[in-house]
Structure 1
Amino acid sequence: MTSPASTQPAAVWKALAREVAAPGRTRMRVWSPETDKFSHTAPLRASLPTRPAAVHLYTNGRTQLLPMDFDTKRGGQAAVDADVAQAINWVTQCGGVTVTDRSTSGGRHLLVPLAIGTSASVEEITLLMRLLAARLPTLDITPNSTHHCHPPAPAKTTHAPDSAQPPPEPPPNPNHPPHPEPKPNQTT
């Protein structure tokens, strides 16, 4: 099931920021124009920050969310769309759900809640993100791997569906060919 969320950035932030943030986290990282990095912190509030911000994903080294950030600078819009479609396909084939959005630059975030009652360590998520990045060239693992933070939504969201059903087949991506179909076991 796909249900579009509000396209108003303030409404998206209010709905997602505390849900995406790790339990007990009351502060967020905020982008600094002086350093061109998320080097400042601020209280995590329901109101939309005036600067780009990222919420902390881990409490005591564990998270309940797999965040993915796809950038057009890594291959263009078609490659981002293909990589996001492939990632959604993998997640939904495993019974998971996703929340995704699209920024005005064409970049995409894909948020994957882990199964209820489960969590993953920094090491487990880091390894998984590296493996995913090897198959999804537009996936940027830097925000999660260096600061363990991720934006809950871009500053200007243009679309934010919640996909609970398998999406259509992803378009072919010339950067990574599809896996060959496994051959059934033969008995003689």
Structure 2
Amino acid sequence: MTFPGFGVKTEQDFDRALQVVQDNDPYGHLRSIHNFGTFYDHNKPTVTHASIQKVTAVEAAGRAVLYRDVYRKPIVSDEVKYEGDIPERWGSISAEEMVHHFWQGAVAGAYVSHGATYAHPDDILWWAEGGVLHGESPARIRFLKDVLETAPSGGWALLRMSRTPTTLRVRGLTTSSRTSGVQRPRSGDSPSPS
């Protein structure tokens, strides 16, 4: 595997790095390898979560579930494109599309990272330099966070995984990756996850 700025690294190099961090980190920080073209084996015990740089995981309903099924660990969908206005296709999505990625990740039980790439007179891109976010998606993502945090007692429950659309239920309301909408349960449906 070749990584810009780091040269060629073997899987054994990453295995060793993860083991060294795990053995010497008294705080138990999270550990993963952010893929760059090639996927690292996130099933290894030194990896705490799968860092997936693949926008397709959150562009359509249910795809992130496949990663959860394979790795059986938390999934972080990193770099799912960026809200912005630069010419590159990965840096020019709308706030609505960025937030859609977050909703798809939430329905699949995954985490999604945010970034912004608005052109700046001083050639500063937030995803590389930090600073002030320009754009509409942070407030919209905050709304999603509020929805998730204020769910009724018991919160969100994943009802199905693997080969079937993911379904979430929150006290009397159900949302499915198949229908992409919220539905009232049918008469006789159990209010608790099955």
Report which structure shows greater RCO (CA 8 Å, sep ≥6).
Answer: 1
Larger Rg: 2
So what's the TM-score if we normalise by structure 1? 0.28
